[in-house]
């Protein structure tokens, strides 16, 4: 679900895949910036509450 956000795959069938790579990190950074309303392209996707 959406609660998982962007999570790197660390292992498959008990086989370690190592650390997340630069593409995964870039996707994570973009996602987190978007949900904080920091990316103009995605600002309309956010509904700020509080």
Chain Cα centroid distance, residue 37: 14
Domain-located, residue 50: no
Domain-located, residue 28: yes
Q: What is the pLDDT of residue 33?
A: 93
CA distance 36 to 5: 13
pTM higher than 0.75 for the full model? no
Domain-located, residue 48: no
Q: What is the pLDDT of residue 15?
A: 95
The domain in which residue 22 lies consists of 2-9+18-43
Q: How many domains does the chain have?
A: 1
Domain-located, residue 25: yes
Residue-wise pLDDT for 1-50, tens only, equals 566 788 888 899 999 999 989 999 999 999 999 988 999 998 898 887 88
Q: Give strand pairing partners of 11.
A: 16
CA distance 1 to 49: 21
């Amino acid at each position: 679900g959406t609660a998982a956000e962007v999570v790197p795959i660390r292992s498959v069938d008990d086989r370690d895949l190592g650390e997340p790579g630069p593409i995964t990190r870039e996707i994570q950074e973009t996602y987190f910036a978007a949900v904080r309303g920091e990316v103009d392209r995605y600002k309309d996707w956010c509904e700020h509450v509080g």
